């Protein structure tokens, strides 16, 4: 064990002395997608950690499309140097969203963060089908908006709006410790550096009415705001074809899986990486880092038909 630690430290010291690190990082971030691997991700991530600079962002193809060039925060190593297959905890939901988009009329990305789902789904979604993304953090929203514009993504609309159970203004807590955990609920984020700001808040029902949406594929990542999101769906349940949603512990404590099933008449599937596990009564076996669920009207056999030829399988 001590020998392993010695070699790790020696390797990092060697990387720290390597000249031209910035050039290597720039080239690595734009490495052709087919050449990005777990090995290059690991090497470039360590190199980035050892490269001391005031530069906070780097241009990357996201590992999605060689034609993309998106500014991404340097600390987002997987997004910068990896590709969707390396995105442990999200890759099942990513590939599921991309596949199900073909059976939907639009994609609604609620809690878009840096826009990874938006860019991944847009790659294969026909341009006539709109994507709407919602991100209340002003810096993250501007980042996505600029990347969408610079990459000329068609029919992709952004809104600096939180989505919840009412329409109006609300306090949103920007999270400087982990930007992926910005929230409306400061009491549910412990020991993080937060900043309170005022943002617009809309109900999902208001959004679908304003944009005349139907047959929607909806992805939701709202950091403990899942129950409020669902209350805001009331009256627009029939507009959702597929719902991919992150459910954290508080949601399970409130039996939200069963409540969604009752509310929509949906079937529930726990997304365990590339395996979808049918849950008839809300029960499931948690796997580390796997928080996402799919809700849809299809039963397991019907969903299996839709997912035929994809990287996803169904059990239960």
The predicted-structure confidence for 223-247, as pLDDT tens digits, reads as follows 888 999 999 999 999 999 999 999 9
Q: Tell me, what's the pLDDT at 179?
A: 65
Domains with residue ranges and CATH for the chain: 2-85 (no CATH), 88-315 (3.40.50.150)
Is the separation of the CB atoms in 266 and 303 below 8 Å?
A: no
Instruction: State the Cα–Cα distance between residues 220 and 226, nearest whole angstrom.
Output: 8
The predicted-structure confidence for 23-45, as pLDDT tens digits, reads as follows 999 999 999 999 999 999 999 99
Question: Residue 205 belongs to what H/E stretch?
Answer: helix 204-211
The predicted-structure confidence for 158-201, as pLDDT tens digits, reads as follows 999 999 999 999 888 877 666 666 666 666 556 667 778 899 99
């Amino acid at each position: 064990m001590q020998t392993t630690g010695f070699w790790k430290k020696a390797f990092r010291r060697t990387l720290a002395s390597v000249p031209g690190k910035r050039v290597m990082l720039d080239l690595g971030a734009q490495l052709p997608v087919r050449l990005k691997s777990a090995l290059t991700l690991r090497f470039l991530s360590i190199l980035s950690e050892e490269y001391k600079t005031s530069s906070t962002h780097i241009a990357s193809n996201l590992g999605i499309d060689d034609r993309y060039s998106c500014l991404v925060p340097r600390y987002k190593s997987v997004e910068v140097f990896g590709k969707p297959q390396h995105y442990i905890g999200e890759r099942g939901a990513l590939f599921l969203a991309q596949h199900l988009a073909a059976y939907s009329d639009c994609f609604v990305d609620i809690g878009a963060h840096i826009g990874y789902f938006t860019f991944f789904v847009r790659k294969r979604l026909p341009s006539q089908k709109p994507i709407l993304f919602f991100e209340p953090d002003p810096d993250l929203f501007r980042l996505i908006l600029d990347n969408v514009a610079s990459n000329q993504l068609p029919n992709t609309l952004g809104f600096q709006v939180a989505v919840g159970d009412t329409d109006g203004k609300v306090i949103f807590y920007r999270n400087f410790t982990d930007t992926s955990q910005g929230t409306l609920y400061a009491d549910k984020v412990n020991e993080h550096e937060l900043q309170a700001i005022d943002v617009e808040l809309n109900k999902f029902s208001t959004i679908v009415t304003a944009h005349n949406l139907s047959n929607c594929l909806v992805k939701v990542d709202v950091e403990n705001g899942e129950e409020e999101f669902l209350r805001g769906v009331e009256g627009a349940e029939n507009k959702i074809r597929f719902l991919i949603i992150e459910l954290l512990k508080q949601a399970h404590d409130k039996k939200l899986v069963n409540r969604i099933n009752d509310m929509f008449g949906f079937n529930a599937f726990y997304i365990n990486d590339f395996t979808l596990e049918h849950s008839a009564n809300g029960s499931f076996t948690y796997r580390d880092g796997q928080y996402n669920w799919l809700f849809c009207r299809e039963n397991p056999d019907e969903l299996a038909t839709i997912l035929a030829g994809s990287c996803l399988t169904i059990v239960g």
